[in-house]
Structure 1
Amino acid sequence: MRILFVSAEAAPLAKVGGMGDVVGALPKFLRRMGHDVRIFMPYYGFIPDKMDVPKKPVWEGAAMFQSFSVFESVLPGTDVPLYLMQHPSFLPRRVYGGLDEDWRFTFFANAAAEFAWNHWKPQIIHCHDWHTGMIPVWMSHDPDISTVFTIHNLAYQGPWRWRLEQMTWCPWYMQGHNTMAAAVQFADRVNTVSPTYAEQIKTPAYGETLEGLLSYIGGKVSGILNGIDTESYNPATDKYLHQQFSVDTIEKRPANKIALQEEVGLEVNKNAFLIGMVTRLVEQKGLDLIIQMLDLFMAYTDAQFIVLGTGDRYYETQLWQMTARYPGRMSTQLLYNEALSRRVYAGCDSFLMPSRFEPCGISQMLALRYGCVPMVRRTGGLVDTVSHNNPIDNTGTGYCFDRYEPLDLFTCMIRTWEGFRYKDKWRELQQRGMREDFSWDISARKYINLYSDILGLPPEETAPQQEPELSVGKG
């Protein structure tokens, strides 16, 4: 099959959230399965810092009364063909933000559609989030190109219909009050990045005002859990770690904890319970819960806490102020640092993710991979990837809580802190998590069956059985 991924992000070139990880990893696994998969993304101003780009474009086109160029290369570290769409609006050294964000990505979607019609014609265009939401609308009457629309975060829905009509061509048959609403109606299949989130978005609590529409089209909505790149994220070979280790040599792991404490300015103490967070500092990630109860937790325990990430100024300020109150016990690193994030996974005892909602989440799977026990709220993909520890039956991979309340988070953190005291049981818990299989191979087979179902092809024999909701035909 010929499949074109169209996305605003693709790791390692442009990564803000989980979408970048998916688009950067899934295509290379699909190619290994014998399919012609390529990526189309913006040519951001910072990309030449990360890779060499050919001087001459392979194709030039026009959309929305603007000319653009497309340069062909290969996604670094893979054999995946990469098309970079160049236009002055993408020259700033940023992915999102700015007053022109709606225009930029609507134009990007137009450019991708023109590219697919006129230069390299795929059988499937795999669209990601609202930035590509108009593509299913335009392709819905093209018998040669089908579309899959993946919802990575339903909270961001793109420009309203009136704004779209000011910027681009909205066909007479188009329905939907914003870009996301239009996309889910006209895509041949809609999927989210975890099975639980696929069901949650049909409810008022998680539907972001689209729950009625998503319930109505529920027959073509499914959830496929994200994977992680187990080749890159491998504690046995990770070059960024102070001490490499594996599930069978986990006794080497504490050296990473000591090195991390030294690096971020915490008191060096191998017996201290060290909690880590690698996250965007936004309300979705549960920062309001943490701010409400962290003082109480730090006063009650001897734990240490490290936060790595950037986001809303309010949360950055609050965390800085807390750090000043706990010298040697708390560190706030307001930056994006891929190498340091790996050392957090490898050095911390537990990883905190108290999300208000979480479409999938990558961090908890990386934490498990590196022997860092997750503390999570049971929502979205966290339900599908972390099970509650039961030391009696020796089952479970982390600690979980249900209600989005500060007291429930506090209770979960105390239970985890107490569990850390029982070293033998804790090591067994770490090893159970490290043995979990979150490789892309499993998810890639499910995506292949999803594409095959759209095109009327039989499912691959090696793939797991697909859910019955994927039986809806094109259109």
Structure 2
Amino acid sequence: MNTFLFAAAENDAIPKCKAGGMGDVVRDVPRQISERGDKVHVVVPAYGRLHKNGTFKTSLNFELRGLMYNADLYEVPPKKEFKNVHHYVIHHPEIEAGGIAHIYHDDPEEPFFTDAIKYFIFNTAVAAAIKQGAFGNLNVVHLHDWHSSLLLFLREYHKDYKMLKDIRFVYSIHNLAIQGIRPFSDNYSSVRNWFPDMAIDTKRLMDYRYTDCINLMAVGIRFADAVHTVSPSYKEDVMKPSSPPEFIGGEGLEKDLKKADKEGRLFGILNGCNYKNINAEAKGEIYRNTVKALFSWLQDENKKYKADFLAHTGEKIMKYVGNRPKFIVSSIARLTEQKYYFFKRNPDAFVKILQKLKKVDGIFMLLGTGAPEYEELFRKISYENENFIFTNGQSESLIDSMYLECDLYFMPSLFEPCGISQMLAMRNGNPCLVHHTGGLKDTVDHLKTGFTFDGDTYDEKIKNMLSAFDVALEVFENDKPKWEKIQIAAKRKRFTWKKSVDEYYKFLYNL
């Protein structure tokens, strides 16, 4: 039996520990490994809250800032039990919950200041737990994004953790744009402050743009035994330099990624999608679930500032309760540049889509929260366009209904390492309209399982996005057999975790 440790910032196998797609992967891959008869331990920070219903396992002692630190390891109950999968959290008072999903901090003055502190403590505690044998004898440690890459730094330079060199380390990149850059010195949240006596090679750790800083995403890429992008096409994208907004590639780390590829350490393996134990909403509940979500937010003190907008959305949705529109387009995502840059830069293009929908008695439903300027933009467009339903909040049951009941799922991401939303929509037999980039290239085929757009320039992309939308409406309105064929093909596509994890064993885990 092989024994694995997954270390990450998120784990959706336990309640209230997910902000994005990484949480899904950290939930699903261990379950698949357990089906193969191997053992997995998954560890994440407690964020001051996740240890409360856990069982205390052991105390962890380690040195940081020239002082002795003490953290606690708890085993916590998962949402669903799987044989040989154990979930843990590490509790320390300085590992605090941030504002983003009660996980990440957003420090506008000094990006990553608070997050770096808590992940420095978390990673050192994980290294101490491995050394103490808290997870038994490990064959593979699988790290996810910059939040856990410090384990590779400790493995390379820390005298107390040399034994980590005997274990294979795998590093998965979920979001290359967020790199965890912090100063080497002269700052509370710097490497020298937390590891004052360590002899390090700053050249091997530094960021190319800010040479007085460590780049923790780069540390993962430079030091791991295997590096993994979450789709084959994204692997090709990240080895080329970015030239935004036309193309988002290696984000300054393309040299490192090319080198990893040359050394045979870089692998592009598509994420899977869950086709079992699906949280199914009944069909026809989409408007009721919208109203339910709006009512619960109207009672939330924190949402008072947008009470007027929530009431406006409720009034709109009531129109459709007994009078279903002929065509529903939906989109669900965090409101960020990655997901909706095209609409933010060109709101007119989005309004044109709404006008095209109006002609066929269609509506556009968007659900999400995120950057204030994106929330404000979509609220403004909602006040001005009656067939745009913007649900500015988070609701699992409404999200399930939107994936289930839309006619077309819209995903105009500027870049997309893998994307899970398109897989969830396709799972329900709903065609997607996507930007032909990253993992979306690997999952949606134009006029076969959905619709795609691309272009060499930004203006060309916008023009082609509107044309692709016209094509989708044209097929839906005037060629029902073809539309049904696309729906069936979308539903038949299977992106299974079994297939992905078979490739993990072969290429990443080397087992």
Aligned residue number for residue 174 of structure 2: 152
Match of 1:8 in 2: 9
Q: Report the alpha carbon displacement of residue 452 of structure 1 after superposing the two structures with TM.
A: 4.3
Equivalent residue, structure 2, for 1:61: 61
Q: Is the 8 A contact 2:403 2:424 kept in 1?
A: yes
1:203 & 1:373 partners in 2: Cα distance? 30
Q: 1:277 and 1:294, CA in 2 relative to 1: closer, same or farther beyond 3 A?
A: same
- Determine if the alignment matches structure 1 residue 103 to structure 2 residue 117: yes
Give the unaligned 5+ runs of structure 1. Answer: 244-254, 390-395, 458-475
* 1:197 matches 2:234: yes
Matches within 5 A, 1:181-220: 181-205=218-242, 206-218=249-261, 219-220=264-265
Q: Secondary structure at the match of 2:239?
A: coil
In the other structure, the counterpart of 2:472 is: 416
Return the alpha-carbon distance in structure 1 between the equivalents of residues 220 and 342 of structure 2: 32
C-alpha distance in structure 1 between counterparts of 2:176 and 2:61, whole Å? 31
Residue in structure 2 matched with residue 398 of structure 1 by the alignment: 450
Structure 1 271/340 Cα, relative in aligned 2: closer, same or farther at 3 Å? closer
Counterpart contact for 2:95–2:122, Cα < 8 Å:
no
> Which residue number corresponds to residue 368 of structure 2?
309
Report the Cα offset of residue 166 of structure 1: 2.8
Give the equivalent residue in structure 1 for 2:282: 242
1:418 to partner: Cα distance = 1.6
- 1:352 lines up with 2:380 in the alignment: no
User: How high is the sequence identity, in percent, across the aligned residues?
Assistant: 30
TM-superposition CA deviations, 1:48-87 (whole Å, max 9, x none): 6xx8322x34333334243210001342213220111001
Worse overlay, 294-303 or 218-227: 294-303
Residues 66-465 of structure 1: pairs in structure 2 closer than 5 A = 66-79=69-82, 80-92=85-97, 94-99=102-107, 100-118=114-132, 119-120=134-135, 121-140=137-156, 142-160=164-182, 162=184, 163-168=190-195, 171-173=199-201, 175-177=204-206, 178-205=215-242, 206-218=249-261, 219-233=264-278, 238-239=279-280, 241-243=281-283, 255=284, 265-266=316-317, 267-268=319-320, 269-270=323-324, 272-289=326-343, 291-302=347-358, 303-327=362-386, 329-389=387-447, 396-403=448-455, 404=458, 405-421=461-477, 422-453=479-510, 457=511
The CA distance in 1 between the partners of 2:399 and 2:200, in whole Å, is 48
Distance of 1:47 and 1:425 partners within structure 2: 49
1:93-120 Cα distance to aligned partner (Å, 9 max, x none)? 6100144112111221111111112222
1:414 positional shift:
1.7
Given the superposition, is the C-alpha separation of residues 63 and 442 from structure 1 closer, same or farther in structure 2, using an over 3 Å criterion? Answer: farther
Q: 1:8 to 1:123 in 2, by over 3 A?
A: same
Contact 2:289 2:397 in 1 (8 A): no
In structure 2, how many angstroms separate the alpha carbons of the residues matched to 1:444 and 1:217? 21
- Measure the CA separation in 1 of the matches of 2:330 and 2:22: 22
Aligned AA (1:426)? W
8 Å CA contact retained: 1:353, 1:364:
yes
Partner residue in 1 for 2:30:
27
In structure 2, distance between residues paired with 1:95 and 1:259:
30
Does structure 2 conserve the Cα–Cα contact (< 8 Å) formed by 1:258 and 1:347? no
Could you tell me how far apart the structure 1 residues matched to 2:124 and 2:86 are? 20
Normalization by structure 2: what TM-score? Answer: 0.79
Q: For the Cα contact (< 8 Å) 1:201–1:207, is it kept in 2?
A: yes
Q: What is the CA distance between 1:293 and its match in structure 2?
A: 0.8
User: Does the CA contact (< 8 Å) of 2:172 and 2:228 recur in 1?
Assistant: yes
Matches of 2:450 and 2:376 in 1, distance apart? 30
Check conservation: 1:58, 1:72, Cα contact below 8 A: no
Residue 349 of structure 1 deviates from its aligned partner by: 0.7
Give the CA deviation at 1:271. 5.0
Deviations 1:199-241 (A, max 9, x none): 11010021110111211221210111111111133xxxx44x1
| TM score, norm. by length of structure 1 | 0.85
How much does 1:44 deviate? 2.5
Cα separation, 2, equivalents of 1:6 and 1:171: 25
Q: SS of the counterpart of 1:190? A: strand
What secondary structure does 2:377 align onto?
helix
For residues 171 and 367 of structure 1, the distance between their equivalents in structure 2, rounded to whole angstroms, comes to: 50
- Identify which range, 38-47 or 335-344, moves more after superposition: 38-47
Distance 1:183 1:226 in 2: 19
Q: Distance in 1 between matches of 2:368 and 2:353?
A: 21
Contact 2:12/2:24 (CA < 8 Å) preserved in 1? yes
Given residue 424 of structure 1, which amino acid in structure 2 is its aligned partner? Answer: P
Contact 1:202 1:211 in 2 (8 A): yes
**Cα deviation code 1:367-386 (max 9, x no counterpart):** 10012211101111001111
| Separation in structure 2 between the aligned mates of residue 373 and residue 193 of structure 1, nearest angstrom | 22
Q: Distance in 1 between matches of 2:199 and 2:172?
A: 22
Which residue identity lines up with residue 409 of structure 1 in the other structure? M
**Can you give the 5+ residue segments of structure 2 that lack an aligned partner in the other structure?**
108-113, 157-161, 185-189, 207-214, 243-248, 293-313
1:465 maps to none
1:160 and 1:90 map into 2 onto residues whose CA distance is 17
The alignment yields a C-alpha RMSD, in angstroms, of 2.2
Distance in 2, Cα, partners of 1:90 & 1:256: 40
CA–CA separation in structure 2 for the residues paired with 1:63 and 1:375: 51
C-alpha separation between the residues in 1 aligned to 2:257 and 2:290? 46
Q: Secondary structure at the match of 2:241?
A: coil
* Alpha-carbon distance in 2 for matches of 1:201, 1:228: 23
Q: How many residues align?
A: 428
Q: Are residue 39 (structure 1) and residue 42 (structure 2) matched?
A: yes
- In structure 1, C-alpha distance between the alignment counterparts of 2:181 and 2:168, rounded to whole Å: 23
Q: CA deviation at 1:171?
A: 4.5
Letter in 1 for 2:172: T
CA distance in 2, matches of 1:262, 1:371: 25
Matched residue of 1:385: which SS?
coil
Larger mean Cα displacement after TM superposition, 159-168 or 195-204:
159-168
